[in-house]
Every structure is written in C-alpha cells, then in structure tokens.
Chain A
Amino acid sequence: MTPAQFARVREILLEALDLPLAERAGFVDARCAHDPALGRIATRLLAHGDPRDGSIAASDLPELPELPERLAEDLPERIGRYRVLRRLGSGGMGIVYLGLDPDLNREVAIKTLPGILSRVEPALDRFRREARILARLNHPNIATIFSLEQDGDLVFLTMEWIQGETLAVHMERGPMGLDAFLPILRQIACALEAAHGHGVIHRDLKPANVLVTREGFVKVLDFGIAKLASDPQDEDDPGPIGTPGYMSPEQIRDEPIDARADLWSFGCILHEGLAGEPAFGGAPGIRVRSSLETDYDPSRLPDGVPSALREMTRRLLARDPRERPLSAAAARRTLDEVVETQEIARVGDLSAVHLPLYLTRFIGREAESIEIRGLLDERQLVTLTGPGGCGKTRLAVEVARTLADRFPDGIRFADLASARDAGGVPRRIAFALGLDEGAVGDPRARIRALLASRKFLLILDNCEHQAAACGDLVMSLLESCPALRILATSRGPLGVDGESILRIPPLGASGRQSEEAVDLFLDRAGPFVDAKESHDAIREICRRLDGLPLAIELAATWASILSPETILGRLDRRLELPAAGSTPRAGRHRSLRATIDGSYEALAPEEKALFRALAIFRGGCTLEALETVCIPGGGSGWRALDLVRSLAAKSLLERSAGADPHGGPRYRMLETIHEYAAEKLGESGEGPAMRRAHFSYFANLFSGCDLKGAEQGRWAARFREEEENLRAAFEDDPAASSVAERAALAARLADLWILLGRWEEGRRICAGILEAIRASGPLDTAVAEDFVRVAVAGVEMARHQGELLEAETLAAEALAAAERTGDPELLAMSSNALGRILTFRGKPDEARRLFDAFLARLAQAGDPWNHANLLFNRGVALFTMERPEEATADFRECLRAMREVGDPRGIALALNALGRCFLISGELDEARRAFEESLAIKREIGDRPGIVTTLLNLGLLETDALRSLESDSDRASLRRARRGFEEALELTRTMGDRPNEARLLLSLGHAAFLAGDHDAARRRFEEGLRVPGERHGYASSVQLGLGHIALRERRLDAAREHASAALASARREKSRNVEAEALEILGAAEAASGRLESAIDYLARASRIRGEIGIIAPLWAQEQVRRLIEDLTRSMGRPAFEAAWARGRQPPPSATAPP
C-alpha cells in the first residue's frame, strides 16, 4: 500500500464510519468499484470496529479536563481515614491528593510529607505547633490546615481544598491592572499580617503559592511548610530554602530570617504583577546574583503605578531587611491608602461586588428574584419584608449577585442587626463602604458624598432593629444620590416615601413553590435521602413547617440520622405540644420554633452548652472568643473546632466572611436563632456567669491594647469588630464586673475611643465609672490609678467635643488624684492633659509653667515616653507663644527621647513639629528633611491625619521655596507640591477632615496659580469656600489668591478690589502676614497703572510689616517684589525712589495692631 492509497482508505473509512453498520459494506463497494483491492482493505479494517455497532467510541480521545490520566497503581486507595480521589499535583516536597473525609463528607487536599519521620523530632514539633496556630488562626486568606496526621510511615497534612488558579498562572497573561491586582495584594498582605502576628513565617512565598478563586478570593498556600521541607539537620538537602527569584538575600545567604523575608518575597510578587516580568529574572544563578548584588530599580514599574506603591515596592525589595517596611501590616496599610486614594479620585473604585458568601446552594425563589430585579429598575428603594426565617437576606444577596452589570459602581452589603442605637446605622454602613471612621465628620454626610453620583446598589440587612434610623438615613441618601438603589430587608416596612414593599412569602404550600421547598430540603439533606422514595414525606414536612426556609433547612440537617418519615412523625408530636410561654404563638412562628427546638434537643450536651453560651455575643465572635468564653476550661484546640463545625453543619451557626479581612472569620447566629439561644441561656441560669466570662474575655483581649506603637491599626480594626461586644460588656449587666475592672478596661479603650471618634459614648462610659469611684469613698492608691487613667481619657474626649471647661476641671481633678499616688507616670499623664487643655484655652504661658514644674520634678523618676511627651507639649505651648527657638529646643529633645524609646508615632510627631519651626524660620532644607522623615514614618504606621498634616507642610515648603517659576526644577517642585496636596486632599475626604480639606483646596489653588492655570486656581478657591464650617482667616487667603490671579491677568481694578477685601479682613483678623501680602498686590497694581509714588508707598509699608513680624514671603513673591522695586528704581531714578521708599517705611502715627 502506498501513502496515497492509504490516504484514500482513510477518507473512505471515515465516511463509512458515519453510516449505520448495515449500510457500510454497500457504501465501500460502491466507492471502490474501480479499485477492488482498496475496497478489500477498507472492508477488513472496518471489521475491527466495535463488535456491537462497529463504531469507534468518541471517548477514546477524552477532552482536556479528564487528563492527566489517573493511574490506579499511582493512587493509594486511602491515606489515613481519607479516601483518595485523585492526584492534584506535586508540591515542593510531596504529592498532593484530593481526598474525601468520610466522616464529614468533605473534600480535602492531602499533602504527603515523605521522609519527615527520619527528621529530627523538634522540626516536626515546631511544624505541629505552627500548623496548630494556623488552624486556629482560621484566616480567610490562608489555606486552612485541618490536621497533621500519620499513617504508618507517612506523615501528611489535610488542608482546605480550594479550586482556583495560582497567581503564577494569572501573571502569565501579562501585567495585571491595578484594579484587579490591588485586592489580591491586599489579601496576601492580610494573610502575612495574621500569620506573622502569630510568629509564623511563610518562607517560600511566590506566585505559585498564591491561589486565586474565581470570585477573587486569595488563599496563600503552604505556610511554614518550606522550613519543614528542608530542616538544617537534613544532610541530603542542605542550603537555603525558598525559590530563587523570590527568596530574600538573607535567605540566600542562609542567615537567620524573620518575617521581613516574606516581605521581600511579597515585593517580588508586587513587581511581577505590575510589570508583567519577574523582579529578578533569568536563570536561577542570575536571579540569585542579581537579588544579592543589585539594587532594585522601581523605574522598571510601568508608568501609572501610583508613587506610594512604587515607593513601597522599592522598600520591600531593600536588600537590608532593616530598610523594609516594619511589618506586613504597614504594607497592607499603604495598599489601603493607595486603594482609598483611588477610591475618591475615580468613579468605579467601589465597583467590586462585596457580598456574603454562602457555602450552600441557593434554591428556588425564581419568581421573587425576577420581581425584585424589575422593581429595582423603577424604584430607588425596595424593601423585602416577611417573618424571621423566611429567607429575605439570602434572597437579597443572591439577587444582588446577578446585578453586577447593572451597578457598575459597586454593590455592598451592610448588616444592621448589630446596630444597637441610631448612631450604629450610619456606622455600619460606613464600615461596609470601607470609609474610615477616624477623625471628625458626620458619617452620614460622608456616605452621601461618596455615593452621590454612583450607580450603586446598597443592601441594608435586618433593618427592623433600627427601623426609624434606617428610614431617616435612607430618605436622605435617596434624595441626594439619584443613581443609588437600596435593597432593604426588614420584618416590616421602613415607612419611607416611594418605598416599594415586597412581601416574601414562605415557600408555598402548593404548586411550583412547594417543589422549591422540597428541593431545598433535598439539597440540605445531602446524600442521606432518597428523593423519589421520600418525596411525599418531604413535601409533608415542608407543609408542616409552613414552607419557612430556615425551618426546612434545620429539619433537613436531621436527615443524616433520621429518615424523612421519622422526621415527619417527630414534627407532628412537637407541633401538637402546647406552645411554650404565655402568649399563643402564631402558626408560622410555632413551626419555626418547633424546628429550632428539635435541632436544639438533638444536640449533644456539650453542643447545647456551646449553643446557649453563644447567645452572649453581639455581632458575632472570633473562634478564640468562642473557645475562651463558651467552652468550660478553655478551648482545647481541635475539640472546639469540631463543636463549631458541628453546629455549623446543623445550620445553627454561620461563619461569616467579615468585611474586615484581618480579623479572621467570625461566627454568628441568624437573628432568629440568636433570639432562641438567648432565651435558652436565660432559662439555664447560666447568664450571669456567662456575662462575667464575656466581660473578662474582652477585658483581657484589650488589656494589651497600646496605640503608642506600630500595632495601632490592628487594635483599631479589632475594636471595630468587637464594638458591639464591648458595649454589651460595659452596659448590659453591672453585676458582671466590678467598678475597678470597668475602669481598667475603659482606660485601655480610651485611646481607641479618641482615635475612632467614639467621643460621646466614651465620655458617657467614663463619666459613669468616675462617678462610681467618687461615690465609693476616698481614693485608695489602687483605685486612684484607674481614676486618673479614666479621667485623662475623659479630658481628651471632652476636648474633642469642644467642652474645654469640663475638660480643664476634670484634668485638674486627675492631677490631684495623681498627686495622691505619687506615681510618676500618672503625674506625667495628668499634667500633660492639663497643660494641653491650658494651651488650647489660650493660656500657653500657664501651660508652660505647669510643664516646667513637672519636667523638673519628673526628670529622673518619670518614664522616658511621658517625659518626651511633656517636652512635646511644652514645645507646642512655646510655639503658640511665638517663641520658636525655645520650641525648637524642646522638639529636638523630644525627638531624641522618642528615638530612644523607639515610638514611631512620637518620632513622627516631633519631626513634623520641628519641621514647622524650621519652615517659619526659613531653614528650608532642614525643614524638608524633617518633614520627609516624618512622612515616611507616618505612612508606615498608617497615621492618616498625620500624613495629611505633613503632606500639607511639605507642599507649602515646595511652593514657598519656588523662585522664578521658570526653571525646570521649579516646575518639578510645583508638580511635587501638587501631587502631595492632591493625595492629602483625598485623604481628608475619606476621613471627613473639613478644616484640612479647605486648607488643601486653598493650597491647590495657589499651586495652580503658580503653574499659570488660572481657571483651575479659581475653581479650587471656590470649591474651598464651599466646604462647610467656619474658618478663621480663610476668606482673606482666598482674596489674596484671586488678587494675584487678577494681577497676572492685568485686570488691575479687580486685583485692587480683591487686595482691598483681603486687607480689610486681615486687619479684622489681626493677620499681619496677610496684610503685608495684600499691600504688595496693591503696590504691583499701582505700578502697572503708572502710579509709581503710590506703588512705592504700598511696597514700603509691606516691607515694614514684614520686618516687624519676621515672617518672610514665599520666595517667588519676594522675587516678584524685588523685580518690581528694581523697575521702579530704574524708571524713577534712585534718589527719587529712595525718598519715596523712606516715607513709606515710616510707621503711621497711629500704630497698626501689634504682631
């Protein structure tokens, strides 16, 4: 046979194979009539088709997903108690299988660790310890380790099995956009933050170890496993661990490493994602060499990468670990800032869809879903109402999930169940929107501002608890945000105009909806029920349960032990019971009640106790809280996890993907179930003991709270998550704690209340505690300490609320109490508080005397931090008294002390204050150095109000230092200034910091003017004037700006008008600096009109004022004045000029206001 013949045979066979068996022979004969030999070959070959139908099965060439072929002998039947399903791949050290846990019927990843047993025991011990930590950490961005087990010689890990692509695969598609990449980075940073916080280092972080699910969730794999993989004791595999190209220099050199090694690897990922190429590429040797020898060059990042991100990449990839950011938390905060900076700047940054995720399938509700979608087209507010347990929340979430296209600007979910007062409603919503809660500003206004022009869907869940507050807020939101849609769930309507109410019925008793109920039961019952056989029984169960989804779900979880028929029998008996309690319950309520009863009674005693105890929490709790508070004798590792898992499997407990990823998962109960559990807790008589344990737990949790260090962000996040629990601990049951205990906790929380603006509440709690202490008789030393701490906190909060007199009185009382203890720390604290208030109340000299006295007294005894703080506060008093040299000395000394203590925030504060001193005395280089260092630290610790101040100062420095506006370097510094102002402006807007927002708009206006963009300048000034609130001296500054513009545009009359207006208000406000500048504008305008004498007069008067106050004009303005004077001298002749100048310099007979 020749190839040509064979090709013909091929064609004939293929045609024949498509024919029915019976027709093939005839077909072949007909086609090969002229070549019978070929026909014979074809016929013989066809005979080798499938004996039944002669076909060649298509499955002979399987489609892709079925490969690689799983080979029986490669695949162990079982590993431990797990059935092995297939091989998932190979990790750094062993094979990874997909296994099935027969007990929990859950798929797990099994990672075998071959050869581990031969290793020294300590290595394994350490790994066990870390695995346990990670298991308990239970962080959403860390692949959860379920267990470390052993089967004969084989040691293996079982882990959460996640479907997704590794980041390595994502990255191969080229550079990732910021919008897609930032959330991934942030989640990686959160994972590192959580693990590092517990002393676990990854050691082999790389794109291949980061899994991204289709929903965009990130799971970091293989934490700490790298180290186990190559223990130094192992002679076969010496040398560093990690992957070339991602391994930090210290790892390559095999030096001891700490968490900062992971930060380097994180930097590599950051670069690779943004640039689309590895930070250190090439062959392994080259990669190693370049990471050891070359400085990373951030200019390799593409244009358009924000400078903060660029700078962070550079620092992450610093070869010296000491130059890297302090922690993953610091990196995460920088990312947050980048995200937020973009948030306001650009529409669409909220655009991600953030909705709770459920592990169970969503069943039915098709008609309602369609209706809701339709209503949202027409109405701004749709409220889903219905009894508890009818599935409103889930329905709202699932409908929202399908609407991402309709709401390009984003979808967010706010759970209002834990809002215990009206103020809680805007707070929970702000939290869901990711708005910062610190600093000042009404969250309602900021929510409105944020959503004003967005096509956004906001889901408000469980509105019934604060229906009135919800209604008010919703109404004001809808008025000012035309493109906003709100989908609310509530047991009753919100009562807002234009509200569209949709009653969500239970899954119906008949027709299609009854099938939905059956489907729901079957889905939740899992493999335990035969759908056909038990169909009638299930339908009957659903009918008895009035089609309430929650009740059906609960009943379905019984199916693992009871048949549907038995369940039905039990329900019947239960529903016939007389309803508990005095009021007869409505049928629907009764059926729900009966199922919860049933679920509860089926629990083991240990589970029952946990279930009851969980009612003590408000707004959910962490696993740790659950273990400590609810499990007698404390948690014992895996046991608590088992109980939690068991309650969750019975739908009594939910693991929620909290809005705040670094808090770990939270466990909470559905509202209906929480109410039931609370009732059971009450009946059990365990309430007081539980409340006591609850208080102790939170007192203990926050006992280490210290905002002086780099941990500030972590504490704030923790506070926000536990806020409802803390409020309950303070206020639910006075018998649960002693006054001393409450005082100690309040003292710990004080800084958080201050930082997060919980002033009203904090003051209320502090006042209550102080009152209780005063009422308990004379202060003994122990109580006095608490008293001072709580009082000082009260002082700060009163000051923030503008109650200066109350603050001063309380500060004096605190100081007196501190004197009684003689404790230097308390004395320093309270004298600081009092002195600051005195400065604020316009009595800086009194403050200074107080500080002088205490600095002398506490020089030796006081602790260094408080001493430094006293110096700082005295510096502020001196600065206010316009004694910059003495202030500088105090700030310098404070800086030295803060550096010694190592408090980054203190260092940054001192540097910023020093910079201010340098700036006003014209030492610009010194000022710049101080501001820049301060800014770097503030960025690192995430001190956002501080960042705003320093950015503003730096920008002012840049614009003040401008000379001609024509050189390249001047243009560059103008650009720098503008970028700084813009960044700071965006920060003020997220924080609601109005005074600085206005200041920044003014500064941006000036910068635009200097750049020659007059329209932009005018726009900025006008924008600034619209920022609400009264500001001293603001209007006159705007007038000056407008005057400069008019002057430059040769509109001389307008220039004179603005300058005169500025002059008038400057005299009213006693601002001589503004007065001088206004005079200079007037002088320039006169000169331009040819009125030379008058011009010289104005300029000379300005010069005299400047001489008196010692405040110099910005360099560019000085330059302008200097040139003007030169011109005037030239045109008038020197003698005439000098005579006129001397006249102008004479002080007028009635002296102007003193400086």
Chain B
Amino acid sequence: MPGPEITALLLDATAATALPRSAADQIFAAAYEELHSIAVREMRKERAGHTLQPTALLNEAYIKLVDASRVRWQNRAHFFGIAAHAMRQVLIDHARKSAAAKRGRGWKRVMITVSGLYADDHEVNAVDLELLLARLAGLHPRMARVVELRVFGGLSGAEIAFVLGVSRKTIVDDWRVATLWLRAELSGESAEDPDP
C-alpha cells in the first residue's frame, strides 16, 4: 500500500520550494529502507553478475511509498531527487559491507545499468561510478548532482531543473559536459592524463 505519510509529506511542499529538511530526512529514510530491501531481493534473484537498474528500483520504491494518483509531477520529482541519493547510498553501503566481509556473497561486483550515457543502455561498475561521482563533485558539485539524479533517479531534464532550481538549459549543458567527462573516464582514458 502506498504510504499516506510519504505522500502527505510530498504534498505539503508547494511546487516551487524545496522540501523542508525534516520532511526530506523522513523521505530519505523511508526510501533507503525500501530500496535496500528491493536491492537485497534483486540480488538473491540474480545469481551471478548482478546488474541492478537503479531507475527500476526507484520506480518500485516510488509505487510502494507514494500514492501516485495524488501527487503532481513536482512532488514526484522531489521524491526521486531524494531517493536517487538514497539509491547511491544503498550501493555505497553494499560495497563497504562486502569489503568488510571480505569475500561476501556477490557484493563485490555490482553492475548497474545507466541509460543516456551512451547510445544504448550501458552497464557500469557501481563502485567505479561512485568514485567518479565523488571526483566530479569536487570539480563541479552541481554537475555531479545532475548525474546522480539522471543515472540513479531517472529524472527528466525538466524534473532535474525543478529539483535543482536552475533552468533546463543549464541542466542540459551540465549533462552534455558530464557525459563527455564520464565517457572519457569510464573508457579508462582520463582527460587529465599527461600527454602520452
């Protein structure tokens, strides 16, 4: 059953402003819990070479937590904006745990599917992506957030623009540059390598 609480928290926020801190925290907690259990389930289902689709997980969590019929797209964007971050956190925590448990069962290599980065959907190692995002955040925090919302949240341009409070054009620009940068880094050929 969609939770009336989360829905209500989302509805309380007016379309134009950000969610209050406390509401965001509550949504984050609920989303984290939900995403975590979905991820565990997915991991059990797929025996080897785990590929998670963060956007799919998020959609499922959304359907479980939010009465979609009552919210508007802005509320939805708020939710996905927070849940994208929770998704990333779930993956990081898994990675940490598996490192701690040494050769724990299957957490070592979690592949996630990203769309939009290449012509087709593409699998990347979750840990690699996390390290890259951390670096990008150091260079250009907003761009890193755009990637997070896009890759983990599956948000559209307009939705990201709404969540970050900037124009859609800025988001598109960020995304274009981030795409080039990520492709370069993921290809193993860092843009910053000294000349061969």
Q: Is A90 within 8 A of B2, CB to CB? A: yes
- Report B-chain residues with C-beta under 8 Å of the C-beta of A73: 53, 56
Q: Inside 8 A of A172's CB, which chain B residues have their CB?
A: 11, 72
Q: Which residue of B lies closest to A41 (CB)?
A: B191
Choose one: B69, B172, B177; the contact of A166 (CB below 8 Å): B69
Cα–Cα distance between A484 and B8 once the two chains are bound (Å): 49
**Which residues, 54 to 76 on B, are CB-close (under 8 Å) to A?**
55-56, 59-60, 62-64, 67-70, 72-73, 76
- B191 near A64 (CB under 8 angstroms)? no
Min CB gap A29→B, angstroms: 15
B106 at the A interface (CB under 8 A): no
- On whether the beta carbons of B55 and A56 are closer than 8 Å, the reply is no
A532 on interface, CB distance cutoff 8 Å: no
Interface centre among B53, B60, B177, B192 (most CB of A within 10 A): B177
> When each residue 1088-1118 of chain A gets 1 if its CB lies under 8 Å from chain B and 0 otherwise, what string results?
0000000000000000000000000000000
Nearest chain B residue, comparing its CB with the CB of A67: B156
Taking a contact as CB atoms closer than 8 A, the residue among A60, A68, A168 that contacts B69 in the complex is: A168
Cβ–Cβ contact B177 & A58, under 8 A: no
Q: How far is the CB of A301 from chain B (nearest CB, A)?
A: 22
Residue B134 is within 8 A (CB to CB) of chain A in the complex: no
Identify the closest chain A residue to B161 (Cβ): A61
Task: Decide: B70 and A169 in contact? CB cutoff 8 A.
Answer: yes
Cβ of A234 to closest chain B Cβ, rounded Å: 13
Residues of A within 8 A of B115 (CB): 69
A62:B72 contact, CB within 8 angstroms: no
Instruction: Please name all residues of chain B whose beta carbon is closer than 8 Å to the beta carbon of A63 when the two chains form the complex.
Output: 156-158
CB-defined contacts of B171 to chain A, threshold 8 Å: 61
Chain A 41-65 near chain B by CB (<8 Å), digits 1 or 0? 1001111111000001110111110
Q: Is the CB of B156 within 8 A of A66?
A: yes
Q: Give B155's nearest chain A residue, CB to CB.
A: A67
Q: Total interface residues on B, using CB and 8 Å?
A: 54
Distance of A172 Cα from B73 Cα, bound (Å): 13
A10 an interface residue at 8 Å Cβ cutoff?
yes
User: Contacts A7-B140, A166-B70 known; A67 to B180 CB distance under 8 Å?
Assistant: no
CB distance from B180 to the nearest CB of A (A): 4
Nearest Cβ on chain B to A613's Cβ, whole angstroms: 43
> Which residues of chain A are near B154, meaning CB under 8 Å?
67-69
Query: Does A6 touch B at the CB level, under 8 Å?
Result: yes
In angstroms, Cα B180 to Cα A1, docked, is 16
A63: min CB distance to chain B, Å: 6
B180 interface neighbour in A49, A57, A169, Cβ under 8 Å: A49
A17 on the B face (CB < 8 A): yes
Task: Name the contact of A64 in the complex, choosing from B119, B143, B150, B159 (C-beta under 8 A).
Answer: B159
* B49 interfacial by beta-carbon distance below 8 Å: no
Greatest chain B CB density within 10 A among A63, A66, A67, A74 is at: A67
Q: Is the CB of A6 within 8 A of B139?
A: yes
CA distance A479 to B169 in the complex (A): 60
- The reply to whether the CB of A89 lies closer than 8 angstroms to some CB of chain B is yes
Contacts of B69 in A (CB 8 A): 89, 166, 168, 208
Chain B: minimal CB distance from A568 (Å): 47
Q: Which residue of chain B lies nearest to A208 when distances are taken between CB atoms in the complex?
A: B69
B191 and A3 form a contact (CB under 8 A): no
Closest approach, in angstroms, between the C-beta of A268 and any C-beta of chain B?
14
**B173 engages A14 (CB within 8 Å):** yes
| C-alpha spacing A58/B119, complex, angstroms | 11
B21 to chain A, nearest CB (A): 19
- Residues of A near B55 (CB, < 8 A) are 68-69, 71
CA gap between A47 and B189 in the complex, in Å:
11
Q: In the complex, are the beta carbons of A13 and B157 less than 8 A apart?
A: no
The answer, yes or no, to whether A284 is at the interface (CB within 8 Å) is yes
Q: Are B159 and A89 in contact (CB under 8 A)?
A: no
The reply to whether the CB of B32 lies closer than 8 angstroms to some CB of chain A is no
Does A67 contact B63, Cβ atoms closer than 8 Å?
Answer: no
- B5: A residues at CB distance < 8 A: 283-284
Query: Closest CB-CB distance, B10 to chain A, in whole Å?
Result: 11
Residues of A within 8 A of B76 (CB): 68
User: Does the CB pair B156–A71 fall under 8 Å?
Assistant: no
B107 at the interface (CB under 8 A from A): no
**CA of A71 to CA of B62 in the docked complex: distance in angstroms?**
14
- On chain B, the residues within 8 Å of A1 by CB distance are 139, 191-192
11 A–B pairs (Cβ distance < 8 Å), ordered by A:
A1-B191, A45-B177, A48-B183, A56-B180, A57-B119, A61-B172, A62-B156, A64-B73, A71-B59, A92-B1, A169-B72
Not counting A45-B177, A69-B154, a sample of 11 additional A-B residue pairs whose C-beta atoms are within 8 angstroms of each other reads A3-B139, A17-B176, A50-B119, A62-B156, A62-B157, A64-B159, A67-B156, A67-B159, A69-B59, A168-B69, A172-B72
Q: 7 closest pairs, A vs B, by CB?
A: A61-B157, A48-B183, A6-B139, A60-B116, A45-B180, A56-B176, A71-B56
Using a CB–CB cutoff of 8 Å, the interface residues on chain A facing chain B are: 1-3, 6-7, 9-10, 13-14, 17, 40-41, 44-50, 56-58, 60-64, 66-69, 71, 73-74, 89-90, 92, 95, 166, 168-169, 172, 207-208, 243-244, 283-284
Q: Which B residues have a C-beta under 8 Å from some C-beta of A?
A: 1-2, 4-5, 8, 11, 53, 55-56, 59-60, 62-64, 67-70, 72-73, 76, 115-117, 119, 138-140, 143, 150, 154-160, 171-177, 179-181, 183-184, 187, 189, 191-192, 195
